[in-house]
A and B are shown apart, each in its own frame.
Chain A
Amino acid sequence: MKILGIDTSSEVATVAIMDDDKLIGEYTINHKKTHSQKLMPMIDEMFKSCEITPNDIDLIGVCIGPGSFTGLRIGVATAKAIAHARNIHIAVVNSLESLAFNMNLSKGIICPIIDAQRNQVYTCKYSWENNTLVSIDNISVKNIDELIDEIKERYEEVVLLGEAVDLHKDKLNDLDNIYIAPNSHKLARASSVCELAFEKYKKGDVKNHYDVVPYYIRKSQAEVQYEEKLKRMGENGK
């Protein structure tokens, strides 16, 4: 079965096609965040080069976040529409597990970090156990300095990856127990999205396109402010 994988959760736009266990195409661009302009032409180009048509696709794997809100929506809207047009299912993958999957079968803790602005990152920790990727904590938004302290104190060996690694390079370089993933594995890759989607498909963990929405973690700024206002009013009302 052919799986189309899509990930636009970060600066990187990446798409891939996998046919069962065979990766037949992957196209990744890490140059300015112009996902809206580039994503569809990338998919179109990849299909042409691989000599397949949208009718050949059986499943879509899409990265639903966390990450850039607008970026996520471009990828998710695209995946939903293709699944809708073709009447096929979607397997959703989160951006952190997808990054961790890039470090296939490595030892130690894998800690992907994605920029969440204001010196914060979306993060989670994973490890490989019996050839399967397992998360060893929950996805959260953390201050980068707190995360570094935590790693320094608690872990022997941690592989860091994700676009936020470059952003916080200066802080990460001189730490003994932190290893930065190589460029070939550091950023989002849709081949990882495809593989995880295939694993989920095998477990029956797929969704109807109507039910697929981005995974933001964060509420919108307006909602946060509104809730704060309600809270203040509640306190004053006492």
Chain B
Amino acid sequence: MKNIITLAIESSCDETSAAVLKNGREVLSNIVATQIDLHKKFGGVVPEVASRKHIENIDAVIQSALDEANITFNDIDVIGVTYGPGLVGALLVGLSNAKALSFALNKPLVGVNHIEGHICANFIEDKTLEPPFICLIVSGGHTHLVEVKDYGKYEILGRTRDDAAGEAFDKIARALKLGYPGGPIIDKLAKAGNKKAIDFPRVYLEEDSFDFSFSGLKSAVLNYLNGKKMKNEEIVVEDVAASFQEAVVEVLVNKSIKAAKVKGYDKIVLAGGVAANSGLREKLIDKCSENNISVKYPSLKLCTDNAAMIGCAAYYDYINGRISDLSLNAVPNLKLGQK
């Protein structure tokens, strides 16, 4: 059978990325131009600044992906591109580029849901992984608990009702004046702190709900910090970081395990930028081994936003005949499972 080569483009937030994949799961190249340093001075991603950087970078990133894979445009069978969710201006750069390439090269186009891409990062990481399984997707933009029934077939079991998990990390990091992005900084500090030092609330919502809520926890941390400041007491940043992270992680892990049990699965898969959090990984591995559930998670480079994961999702859509047309528009709040 002929190999299928996918060119994938991702520009939904602050990474401009392009990748080339063979048969959906073998990464021939995965170029990521990150803008983290550019947004640091603003304390978060600024959409207009991100969009401007994307358009400066995009064709050079695509060319690097082709070069590193040692192919030319002619070798491509299908073009995959993120069309949502994400920052609309940022999405439109990658999407406009991908549509024009599809037209000029006369190659089919597949619009990919970014969250679906995060799930698919695991298919690249572990070539033997097959659906079905439970997937916990946690990043700066999303927190989803999903039943992955088959390639491209998802049922959302729960999602955050307010802040995304990664967003909560960023906000707490900002309150502690630790810089941006908050996740890796808090993770690092937490290692030196006592996670039982402060008893922050764990929000489980209704008895059988798989939804999440982190805004109450965020307020509790902010109140704690204010209280300490008013009383002129010392704040042990490491302990705050460790206790906050533990409160987030415990709820994420317990809900994931409950979802696996309720749905009868013995596999939990992590995805998204926060999947790189060591506290989350450790706790999930621990709890899952107690419950005879296997755990998978992508390596760091595949956890954060990248085009390879988009290419994998595009491949499965392509072989299943799900092709987009040239009128494809960016959908900033695209839901998982929506087409």
Q: Which residues of A contact B (CB under 8 A)?
A: 34, 36-41, 43-44, 53-54, 69-70, 73-74, 76-82, 84-86, 209-210, 213-214, 216, 220-223, 226
Q: Most B CB atoms within 10 A — which of A74, A79, A216, A221?
A: A74
A217 to B290, CA, bound (A): 60
How many A-B contacts at CB < 8 Å in the complex? 106
Contacts of A38 in B (CB 8 A): 327
A84 to B328, CA, bound (A): 21
Cβ of A210 and Cβ of B60 under 8 Å apart?
A: yes
A interface footprint on B14-50 (CB within 8 Å = 1, 0 otherwise): 0000000000000000000000000001100010110
Number of chain B interface residues as a range: 35 or more
Contacts of A39 in B (CB 8 A): 96
Q: Which residues between 87 and 107 of chain B lie within 8 Å of chain A, taking CB atoms?
A: 88-89, 92-101, 103-106
Q: Decide: A220 near B52, CB < 8 A? Known: A82-B103, A85-B104.
A: yes
- Least Cβ distance of B290 to chain A in Å? 47
A85 to B325, CA, bound (A): 18
A53 to B100, CA, bound (A): 13
Q: Decide: A54 near B48, CB < 8 A? Known: A70-B92, A78-B100, A80-B97.
A: no
Kindly identify which residue among B62, B103, B106 contacts A43, using a CB–CB cutoff of 8 Å: B103
Q: Decide: A77 near B93, CB < 8 A? Known: A221-B48, A222-B42.
A: yes
B109 nearest in chain A by CB position: A40
A44 to B106, CA, bound (A): 11
Q: Decide: A44 near B103, CB < 8 A? Known: A73-B89, A81-B59.
A: yes
Contacts of A81 in B (CB 8 A): 59, 96-101, 104
Q: Can you name 13 extra interface pairs (CB under 8 A) apart from A36-B95, A70-B89?
A: A70-B51, A70-B92, A77-B55, A77-B93, A77-B97, A80-B100, A84-B59, A85-B101, A210-B60, A210-B63, A222-B42, A223-B49, A226-B41
Cβ of A36 and Cβ of B89 under 8 Å apart?
A: no
B41 nearest in chain A by CB position: A226
- Least Cβ distance of B127 to chain A in Å? 31
Q: Decide: A40 near B326, CB < 8 A? Known: A54-B104, A78-B96, A226-B42.
A: yes
A77 nearest in chain B by CB position: B96
Contacts of B89 in A (CB 8 A): 69-70, 73
Kindly identify which residue among A40, A44, A214 contacts B55, using a CB–CB cutoff of 8 Å: A214
A43 nearest in chain B by CB position: B103
Kindly identify which residue among B49, B101, B330 contacts A220, using a CB–CB cutoff of 8 Å: B49
A37 to B55, CA, bound (A): 18
Cβ of B96 and Cβ of A44 under 8 Å apart?
A: no
Contacts of A82 in B (CB 8 A): 100-101, 103-104
Q: Decide: A73 near B63, CB < 8 A? Known: A41-B326, A78-B97, A222-B48.
A: no
Cβ of B46 and Cβ of A222 under 8 Å apart?
A: yes
Cβ of A74 and Cβ of B92 under 8 Å apart?
A: yes
- Least Cβ distance of A45 to chain B in Å? 10
- Least Cβ distance of A9 to chain B in Å? 14
